[in-house]
A and B are shown apart, each in its own frame.
Chain A
Amino acid sequence: SQQGEEDPQALSIQEGENATMNCSYKTSINNLQWYRQNSGRGLVHLILIRSNEREKHSGRLRVTLDTSKKSSSLLITASRAADTASYFCATSIYGQNFVFGPGTRLSVLP
């Protein structure tokens, strides 16, 4: 499978600090996506990076992709308490057979 895996499993930081999460996958992809899930709710799409891109920014989010290492990282800068959630990476081949990693649980302490 294309299984994505996040690292670390859990992360606890202070408000204002940066949070970095990593994701690895096993097979070829056409894009990699990051999602956020607040406790007990559906996932919300954060950012997408295509396989021919190396870095992408969206507000306080920065995502990188290294296809040679089959890995991606998500950086959240100047974190806020509202960023407390679980973050998942997801891969697919043109919308088919989506694979989500187990997620990183981020706690941002005030």
Chain B
Amino acid sequence: NAGVTQTPKFRVLKTGQSMTLLCAQDMNHEYMYWYRQDPGMGLRLIHYSVGEGTTAKGEVPDGYNVSRLKKQNFLLGLESAAPSQTSVYFCASSTSSGLTYEQYFGPGTRLTVT
């Protein structure tokens, strides 16, 4: 099992450019999440999904869009990147089984917007 994988690992964008981050999990988890982590801070939830075809906003959704067309994939899009979106992005997945929702994290994507 690969667990949770994220593509790419690093990316540099110019202001106004767009990009899509891909998260994939092979654990058949229902729930998937996108977070951002700024230096010295905790994670902030951007968007999440409780199942294929569903998405919901988290704490900081502005400037981002997501899609969950397949259960194993969760895409995060930046339509017009801004320097304030420079951050490390983490994807996570969890199962609702047992009502614990323990999260499994990917290794992160370091994004710099210049």
Q: Are B48 and A101 in contact (CB under 8 A)?
A: no
Interface hits, A11-47 → B, CB 8 Å: 30-31, 33, 35, 40-45
**Which listed residue, B44, B90, B96, B102, touches A42 by the CB 8 Å rule?**
B90
Interface size on B, residues (CB 8 A): 29
Q: Are B106 and A42 in contact (CB under 8 A)?
A: yes
- Determine chain A's interface SS by DSSP, over half rule: strand
Rounded to whole angstroms, the CA-CA distance of A39 and B110 in the bound complex is: 13
**Interface flag for B104 (CB, 8 Å):** yes
Interfacial chain A residues near B59, Cβ < 8 Å:
1, 97, 99
Residues of A within 8 A of B (CB): 1, 4, 30-31, 33, 35, 40-45, 48, 88, 90, 92, 94-103
**Residue of B44, B45, B94, B106 most packed against chain A (CB within 10 A):** B45
Rounded to whole angstroms, the CA-CA distance of A88 and B103 in the bound complex is: 13
Q: Are B45 and A94 in contact (CB under 8 A)?
A: no
Residues of B within 8 A of A (CB): 4, 31, 33, 35, 40-45, 48, 50, 56, 58-59, 90, 92, 94, 96, 99-108
Q: Are B103 and A94 in contact (CB under 8 A)?
A: no
**Which listed residue, B48, B50, B100, B105, touches A48 by the CB 8 Å rule?**
B100
Which A-B residue pairs are the 4 nearest by beta carbons? A42-B105, A95-B101, A100-B42, A100-B43
Known pairs A1-B59, A42-B108, A103-B42; A98 contacts B102 (CB<8 A): no
Q: Are A101 and B94 in contact (CB under 8 A)?
A: no
Interfacial chain B residues near A1, Cβ < 8 Å:
59
Rounded to whole angstroms, the CA-CA distance of A43 and B94 in the bound complex is: 13
